[in-house]
């Protein structure tokens, strides 16, 4: 019996569509040069829509239906925190990532309280932003709890629960691939967590991370 060509072609088209699927990223910043650079940089991994003000950002939540949204704290027509709140009112499950020049703890804490998934510095390497986007799309939260709520718990509460888990595995000698397999995340996400842990704790080697993990009963 001759196979149904129509069905086979339809299945083939579906497979191709899945292979070419790119997550949608909504990017907001009031510096057009930065927007153009980020859009070009991310176009290989994501379908990107860039806007330069709060009103356009909120409109794009409905029209573009992004899988993740990235915005600055300073936004024409409304600050980034207010804009993010309005966005989450429309789509409570939308992962929000802040990309800002401000590194003060109070801003990071405010983003955490808001429900953002990550807070990155504009001076961070571009690869870190790409890795962070993939991480939050996988369900990761790259923000530590607010400092006011965690000071009594000691130094290790500067890390998120997932970061402590990754640090424990690193101290046990696990590679990024091993960590990815054990935690059901991508290798890229595992590498991002490693870099984020080192930056947050001011550590520079696996040996230092291992000593920290042992000293704080993480290993």
For the chain, give every domain's residue range.
5-143, 149-215
Residue 49: what pLDDT? 95
User: In the prediction, which pLDDT does 152 show?
Assistant: 40
Distances (CA, A) of 16 to 9, 139, 155: 10, 25, 48
Torsion of CA 77, 79, 84, 90, to 10 degrees: -30
Topology given in CATH for the domain delimited by 5-143: Rossmann fold (3.40.50)
Topology of 149-215 in CATH? Arc Repressor Mutant, subunit A (1.10.10)
Q: Which of 202, 191, 122 is nearest to 163 (CA)?
A: 191
* Residues of the chain falling short of pLDDT 50: 1-8, 10, 12-13, 15-18, 145-157
Mean residue pLDDT of the chain comes to: 82
Q: Is the pTM of this model over 0.85?
A: no
Per-residue model confidence (pLDDT) at position 17: 45
**Tell me, what's the pLDDT at 20?**
62
């Amino acid at each position: 019996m001759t196979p149904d060509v129509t069905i086979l072609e339809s299945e083939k088209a579906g497979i191709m569509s899945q292979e070419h699927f790119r997550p949608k990223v909504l990017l907001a910043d009031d510096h057009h040069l930065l927007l153009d650079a980020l859009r070009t940089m991310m176009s290989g991994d994501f379908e990107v829509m860039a806007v330069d003000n709060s009103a356009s950002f909120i409109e794009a939540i409905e029209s573009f239906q992004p899988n993740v949204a990235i915005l600055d704290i300073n936004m024409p027509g409304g600050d980034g925190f207010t804009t993010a709140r309005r966005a989450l009112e429309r789509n409570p499950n939308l992962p929000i990532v802040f990309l800002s020049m401000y590194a003060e703890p109070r801003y990071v804490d405010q983003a955490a309280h808001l429900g953002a998934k990550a807070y990155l510095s504009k001076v961070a390497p571009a690869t870190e932003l790409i890795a962070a986007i993939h991480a939050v799309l996988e369900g990761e939260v790259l923000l530590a709890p607010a400092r006011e709520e965690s000071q009594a718990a000691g130094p290790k509460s500067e890390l998120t629960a997932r970061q402590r888990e990754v640090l424990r595995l690193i101290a046990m000698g696990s590679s990024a691939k091993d960590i990815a397999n054990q935690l059901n995340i991508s290798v890229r996400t595992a590498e991002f967590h490693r870099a984020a842990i080192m930056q947050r704790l001011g550590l520079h080697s696996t040996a230092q991370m291992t000593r920290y993990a042992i000293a704080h009963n993480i290993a």
